[in-house]
Amino acid sequence: MNIQMKLKQKIQLLLIFISAIIYLVAIGYISINARQTAYKDNKKLVDTQVSNFAGQIQGQMNRNMAVARTLALSLSNYQVMPKDQWLDFVNQVYEEVFPEYRDFYNLWDSWELNVIDSSYSKPYGRIVNEHFRDQGIVKSKRTKSSMDGDNKLYQQIKESNKEMVFPLYFDLFSEGKSERKLMTSLLVPIRQDDGGYAGVIGIDITMDRFQEILGNVQIRGLEKSRAFLLSHQWKYAAHPDTSNLNEKIAVNPTARKDFNLHDKLAKGNSFSIIQKREGHRKQYVSYAPVRIGRTGTPWYLGIAVPVDQIMAQADQHFMISLIVGIVGLLILSGVIYYITRSITHPIERVTRVLKQMARGRISQDMKLNIQTGDEIEEMALALNTSIDGLNKKNQFASHLGHGELDYNYQMISDEDQLGQSLLEMRDSLKKAREEEEKRRKEEQKRQWTNEGLTQFADILRQNNDELNKLTDELIKKLVHYLEANQGGIFLMEDQDENDQHLELYSAFAFDRKKHHQKRIDLGDGLVGTCAIEKETIYLEEIPQDYIEITSGLGDANPDSLLIVPIKMEDTLYGVLEIASFHTFEQYQIDFVERVAENIASSISSIKVNMRTQKLLEQSEQQAQELSSQEEEMRQNMEELKTTQEEAARQKSNMEGLVNAFQNAHYIVEYDTDEKIIEINDHYLNLLGLNREEVLGTHHSYKMKTTSEQQEGYKKFWDDLRAGKVKKMTNVVEHNGKEFVFAETYTPIKDQEGNIQKIMKIAIEASEFDLEKYICQQ
């Protein structure tokens, strides 16, 4: 049948047919491609969620491991005190740390007895300190363990001597507790100086909080997903089905015969698998490692999602695309009937631009100039507007990439979501930069303060035998460290109770020390006011004639003045005055106040030692005079009987003086091997000790030494053996009481000049006002 059709109709029919074919192919391609893309996007979403939640768990585990590592490092200096004192100190540390970490189920340690107790020689046996919560109440206990030999598990910990994570267990150490939970332990060894094993710090944590984290794992659009956590032995540490806890995951959950999941997990990398078990739905499972500290044995977080749920969204999109395509085809057929070929060329131009945009190309030469007076022209104008907007966004993103966060961007409209996202990203980057700058400044302040305290501690330690030299070094260092211009140290002169005043001991300005004889009465001026009130005075508006700073450029008033009392507790020892052309920040003022406290402590010790030395010299002078008189009396014994009687009376008086000196001071004699060879009764009665248990013990017996004293301990005794007189302050602890002594060590020589012994004369500084006593004498 030959159908007669006009050319126009043939062209229209041909266009409809060709357009329909092209449209269907395009829709089919786009739909299939969209289905595949949706499937890939959902898998990528699952992988991202696994990585995010694994990071959360890893962060929590590593924070706990960091606490254990810090405790192990802090407690590695166990040699500084006897075993019982050290164990009491460890428990005090735990009492401070344990309440701060509510997620710790148990905080414990294990100390090798042969390491902390020199009298114990067996290769096994240990002391365990434990802090735990039982029904919300913090409890602690100390036990001895492995006294008959180490068990296999503890032997593995000892031989490993490195950080490790315990295998999962149901509350293995729960004696005396009321509940049992699935948990693990984070272990960090306590090492000796040579790297040997001294003990271990353990933090027991339950799996409850990880079970809670898994309960919050929600993937938008994939509500049937489930998450689980595997330990390094591939056992379930957390699982939606709690009956699976502490059970090992299957070796091969896939349809592949040669697949081994355990080998895959052992590599420590992220991966995903399609899991298919008989009688179960096919699932997409993504795994992400959870690396804990320095153990080298990662845990794993896994999220499983049914494959059909992942595909459901993709299938839905595919069906919608097909329906839209069919409807569009019908509409297209009607539209083509009324459209002429004049629209072909502008559509091709628009298509070319769209393809370029799809490939990511954006430039001004892509803008179209179409003037058809219809929707195509409007489409071209809209496309041109989009190109302008994308160009602006591209420029804005480029400036952001170069760190120009103040670059401005004007949104196209209130509906410009991409522009709004870029602006929010810029604001987030600004905030992150500001927070980083703030954190950096705070860290610099802390570092500045810590370095300064260390430097001033060295000055106080190295110059603790001469007050003038100490104050000179202190004020010079303080002016330089604060970048100030000048300063002075005024010390309290209180020997005469009726004439207490401040005396300028040291002043420093522009690298030149200025020697003054300056007296300030209490309450006189700002310095005197500071001494009376014992509070810091800081001024930024200084009276015109108060002080001048002199330099090579002339004289000028300072911009700020800082006056800080040198006090220890409520006792005033002096005042610090510092002037500067720049203002002081609060952290600098706090730093100067801390330095002032340390100066007060050192000045107190120096004054006590100076007065003690003076008493000792007077005593030695009297002893020498008595010896001379005795020798003279022996030579003239027959001729001067009356003189001998007088000498006997003087000797009796001197013995009374020596006895009085013995009763007023605590005297200990040491041999050159640092062992006690004599101790007076006054010292024994104070501490409540027997002479037999003290004689022959080491100098450090019952002493509580600081870290600085430990570092200089060998030099201290080398100086004594070299004939130098040494002074120091020590703390002696006995029966739970602490006694603070200001001590002077004097080497005693024989007739050949050899050091025969060391005599220590001490004054108790904790309960006795030594300065007042010396002044009364």
Cβ atoms < 10 Å from Cβ of 296? 12
What six digits make up the tokens of 568? 């220890």
pLDDT at 399: 77
pLDDT at 234: 92
Q: What pTM did the predictor assign?
A: 0.42
Planar angle of CA 93, 96, 100, nearest 5 degrees? 135
What's the start-to-end Cα distance of the chain, in Å? 144
Q: Which residues, including other chains, have CB under 8 Å from residue 758's CB and lie 6 or more apart?
A: 669, 670, 671, 672, 720, 745, 746, 747, 748
pLDDT at 279: 66
Give 428: exposed, middle or buried? Use CB within 10 Å, 0-12, 13-18, 19+: exposed
Q: How far apart are CA 180 and CA 576, in angstroms?
A: 60
Contact yes or no for 566/574 (Cβ under 8 A): yes
pLDDT at 164: 92
Q: Which residues, including other chains, have CB under 8 Å from residue 469's CB and lie 6 or more apart?
A: 463
pLDDT at 551: 42
| pLDDT per position as a tens digit, 294-349 | 888 899 999 988 888 777 766 776 777 777 777 777 776 666 665 655 556 666 67
Find tokens 């998450």 and name the residue. Answer: 227
User: SS3 for 413?
Assistant: coil
User: SS3 for 352?
Assistant: helix
Q: How far apart are CA 286 and CA 302, in angstroms?
A: 6
* CA nearest to 13, candidates 337, 263, 491, 231: 337
- Parts of the chain with a pLDDT under 70: 1-13, 15, 23, 78-80, 172-179, 221, 278-279, 313-314, 317, 332-348, 409-410, 510-517, 544-556, 632-648, 651, 658, 766-777
Q: How far apart are CA 434 and CA 677, in angstroms?
A: 66
pLDDT at 517: 47
* CA nearest to 603, candidates 564, 562, 565, 566: 566
Q: Which residues, including other chains, have CB under 8 Å from residue 400's CB and lie 6 or more apart?
A: 407, 422, 425, 426, 429
pLDDT at 775: 42
Contact yes or no for 547/508 (Cβ under 8 A): no
Find tokens 């709690």 and name the residue. Answer: 242
pLDDT at 511: 43
pLDDT at 513: 44
Contact yes or no for 187/164 (Cβ under 8 A): yes
pLDDT at 634: 66
